[in-house]
Amino acid sequence: MINDHNIDPQSSRIDQLRSRLEAMTLPAAVSVIKTLNEQDRVALVMNQNTNGELYHHLLIQTWLNSECLDEYEGILLEALTLLEAKAFNIYDIEDADRQDALDVVINALTDTYDQGPGFLGSNTFLHIAERVSDLNRSLDYGFNGRIQATPLIQVTLRGNFTLFKMLIELGADLNFITADGRDCRYYAESTLNSHPEFYLNYRADLLLAKHDVRTNSKISRKL
């Protein structure tokens, strides 16, 4: 992927470019990114700092946790869109910890609290979740990577029902079985004590879904 563009994402020039961008305000960084050619944008996206962090991942972390998010979320989305490459999906690229952009945005948003529909950061979450190639991709999760967790399992373990519903609506599979033989239902059923509000919402949602299925079945039989 990198060789196809004849660039070195760890070159001193790209390191310096990244350092300059990280020291700027977000609007100023966007102005610079607009001037970059395709090769430099690809190199910037692939560049890892000494902690193994990718530039666009750091953008997401920094600005989703910023007090200026209400003013800057649209500019953050513009920055991410400018960094999107023609040859590959930037949202699928993993950092040194094997986290992709969806993992990063989940960490940034669930480190706060479940703010309900339309929360600050929801547009960024949707932007990324709609673009990742696999909503059921799993990674080592928890202390010492004890379990395999899809994005749906991650938000379940953190008790964030808003993100849970958004992922379901985007097509995440509640029944997807990870490499350790468990699906999201297993973890959702265990949230009664750790995240009782999530558990009650989850159970209510299941009952509503069953009711809808029965209602639609009765209508079909009548027709």
pLDDT mean across residues, the chain: 88
Per-residue pLDDT band at 216 (split at 50, 70, 90): low
Is a pLDDT exceeding 70 seen at residue 10? yes
Output the DSSP codes for 17-37: HHHHHHTS-HHHHHHHHTT--
Reduced to 3 states (helix: H, G, I; strand: E, B; else coil), residue 222 is helix
| pLDDT at 219 (0 to 100) | 45
| pLDDT at 114 (0 to 100) | 64
At 115-160, the pLDDT tens digits run 777 888 999 999 999 999 999 999 888 756 588 999 999 999 999 9
At 77-118, the pLDDT tens digits run 999 999 999 889 999 999 999 999 999 999 999 866 667 778
Is a pLDDT exceeding 50 seen at residue 211? no
| pLDDT at 4 (0 to 100) | 45
Other Cβ atoms less than 10 A from the Cβ of 141: the count is: 16
| pLDDT at 3 (0 to 100) | 42
CB distance 198 to 156 below 8 Å: yes
- DSSP 8-state symbol, 66: S
- DSSP 8-state symbol, 181: S
At 170-182, the pLDDT tens digits run 999 999 999 989 9
At 33-83, the pLDDT tens digits run 999 999 999 999 999 999 999 999 999 999 998 989 999 999 999 999 999
